[in-house]
Chains A and B, each alone.
Chain A
């Protein structure tokens, strides 16, 4: 097993685990969670090893089936994909560990297929990130989407309907991607990313290329819930089980954003991409999403729905960074993918913990008994909320910092204004929750004890993942310069 196999091994680890879970689960159900965590840990370890390896000695490529590209499919572990895959695997692992308890209470009897689907979901996401072939990316996109539908469909009574709407929108998105890809393929005659980029730079007629890119862009915008194509997201995330949401929400949209980055700055020449109105449109839709998502989040009484709208807003930050098409914008987008994955995962984990202990995550029913009952979970939530608002030295502050630098570089005042406004709006909706969690007394006549299903802090298997993410926010914040210098800058595409 040499390092050269790493790119293929990562998705494979999840795929094999998915099968093992089904097999072992049929024999003894209790084995499934252990297997899932083991598989996810293996994936995370491999991904981190890949990250170290790539940082030390450059990209790795694996030719599937021994067919050399461009004919064969290659899996590529370069700076960006190694970074992205590390984010996906680590956050996925943390969410799975936390989900062990909530799945058992929220969706008993369906734990084995749930975990199996989680593994397939992660197979799909890592595959999307690692593949060097645009059609293969579509296949992995659909693998991850189908698994995501399965993960989100179990939960409350409304979950199947919300998921159905996500399914139709998601399929439309994937179909648009496939449609756009046809234009590129017919123009260039190849599907290999590196090859395609080379050929497209020689192609004379731009109209079909731009047509293709537009359709692919719209497809990915649907998958990443870019405003105004975000309609499916709040329902899907709210109605699903806690474990389902905390696995899908931090990762699903990010990988679609990754595809945009890959497409515009690696497959295409950045010089070419910069001139596209499409990219500018992505940026401005992102800005609109930042504001719209925040405003909608303020109006939500349900914590998970609020967090879902907040995701719409945060995805807007990433899109805005992409839209600037500058090194600083790229850095801001990539850093925010990481930061937001951590923040949002942490927040959704706490929402899951609340559902386990209180049986609901309805904001108006929170009161300050929570701060005594679940001090650590509440502290983690507070820290993640501060990070979302962008208080230094948490990670979220530095996302804002790089985005502000990037916006100033191009004198993009709209983005700057949105940045300031959005952090205030974030403060409004997060402090609304924090105030209830920490300060508002329980209503008269209702004791604190009956409201709690089980009193006290959540078990360690849920607390540790939450605290790891919360602590991670401080580490990522203080270490952001290291990340940017050693990981993100080296991955900057040539010519950006």
Chain B
């Protein structure tokens, strides 16, 4: 049990992050808090990719003369890192759009509390 926890602790950590993020998105009433939850969710997934790319003892995926090209196992997998750069950009842009919407919402309703908003929409 403990061994399992030790070996996979990164995954347990990420799983709890995911759940925290998702919970925040669903349960929080304040729209900004929802966004925080969303960001946590996205980050946990990005980290998941990076953890998956990890190789024990691997170096950063930049060509190193001492390590050479012969054995790719000496580097961690570079592809997920590049992919996640894109994902981070996407996440940032989404966040930007979301904040733009939040500003628009606040302008027309003067609140960011979801239940109050639903009340006022009626």
A and B interact: yes
With a cutoff of 8 Å between Cβ atoms, the chain B residues found around residue A150 in the complex are 97
Q: Which residues of B contact A174 (CB under 8 A)?
A: 90
Secondary structure class of chain B's binding surface, majority of residues: helix
Tally of contact residues, A, Cβ under 8 A:
25
Given contacts A135-B83, A142-B94, A146-B94, contact A185 B52 (CB under 8 A): yes
Q: A171-B42, A172-B22 are in contact. Are A139 and B90 (CB under 8 A)?
A: yes
Is B121 located at the chain interface by the 8 A CB criterion?
yes
Which residue on A lies nearest to B22, using beta carbons? Answer: A172
Q: Please, which residues of chain B bring their CB within 8 A of the CB of A185?
A: 49, 52, 80
Number of CB contacts from chain A to chain B under 8 A: 70
Fill in one digit per residue for A108-150: 1 if any B CB lies within 8 Å of its CB, else 0. 0000000000000000000000000001001100100010011
Task: Tell me whether B19 is interfacial, beta carbon within 8 Å.
Answer: no
Known contacts A167-B97, A175-B41; is-contact A161 B52 (Cβ 8 Å): no
**Given A158-B121, A161-B121, residue A146 in contact with residue B93 (CB < 8 A):** yes
Interface residues of B in 88-110 (CB under 8 A from A): 90, 93-94, 97-98, 100-102, 104-105, 108-109
Q: Nearest-CB distance from A190 to chain B (Å)?
A: 9
CB-CB < 8 A to A164: which residues of B?
Answer: 31, 98, 101-102, 105
Task: Please judge, given known A-B contacts A146-B93, A164-B105, A185-B80, whether A171 and B38 are in contact too, CB under 8 Å.
Answer: yes
A179 to B45, CA, bound (A): 6
Residues B104 and A153 in contact, CB atoms below 8 Å apart: yes
Instruction: Give CA–CA (A301, B41) in the complex, Å.
Output: 37
- Chain B contacts of A142 at CB under 8 A? 90, 93-94
Which of A146, A161, A178 is within 8 Å of B105, CB to CB? A161
Which residues of B in the span 35-79 have a Cβ within 8 Å of any Cβ on A? 35, 38, 41-42, 45, 48-49, 52
Residues on B with beta carbons closer than 8 Å to the beta carbon of A172: 22, 25, 38, 41
Residues 167-188 of chain A: 1 if any B CB is under 8 Å from the residue's CB, otherwise 0?
1100110110011001001100
Cβ of B25 and Cβ of A168 under 8 Å apart? yes
List the A side residues contacting B35 at CB < 8 Å.
168
User: How far apart are A85's CB and chain B's nearest CB, in angstroms?
Assistant: 23
Q: How far is the CB of A239 from chain B (nearest CB, A)?
A: 9
Contact B93 A175 (CB under 8 A): no
Q: How far is the CB of B52 from chain A (nearest CB, A)?
A: 4
The CA-CA distance from A135 to B45 in the complex, in Å, is: 14
Give Cα A149 to B97, complex, Å: 8
Residue of B with least CB distance to A153: B101
Q: In the complex, A146 Cα to B34 Cα: how many Å?
A: 18
Q: Are A139 and B38 also in contact (CB < 8 A) when A158-B121, A164-B101 are?
A: no
A167 to B97, CA, bound (A): 9
Chain B residues with Cβ below 8 Å from A160 are: 101, 104-105, 108
- Residue B117 lies at the interface, judged by CB distance under 8 Å to chain A: yes
Of B42, B52, B98, the contact of A182 (CB 8 Å cutoff): B52
- Tell me the smallest distance from the CB of B28 to a CB of chain A, in Å: 11
Which residues on the B side are within 8 Å of A171 (C-beta)? 38, 42, 94
Cβ–Cβ < 8 Å partners of A157 in chain B: 108
Question: Do A149 and B48 touch (CB < 8 A)?
Answer: no
Whether A480 sits at the interface, judged by CB under 8 Å, is: no
Q: List 19 A-B contacts (CB under 8 A).
A: A138-B90, A146-B97, A149-B101, A150-B97, A153-B100, A153-B101, A153-B104, A157-B108, A160-B101, A160-B105, A161-B105, A161-B109, A161-B117, A161-B121, A168-B38, A171-B42, A178-B45, A178-B49, A185-B49
Across the A-B interface, the 9 shortest Cβ-Cβ residue pairs = A160-B104, A186-B52, A164-B101, A142-B90, A179-B45, A160-B101, A160-B105, A182-B49, A161-B105
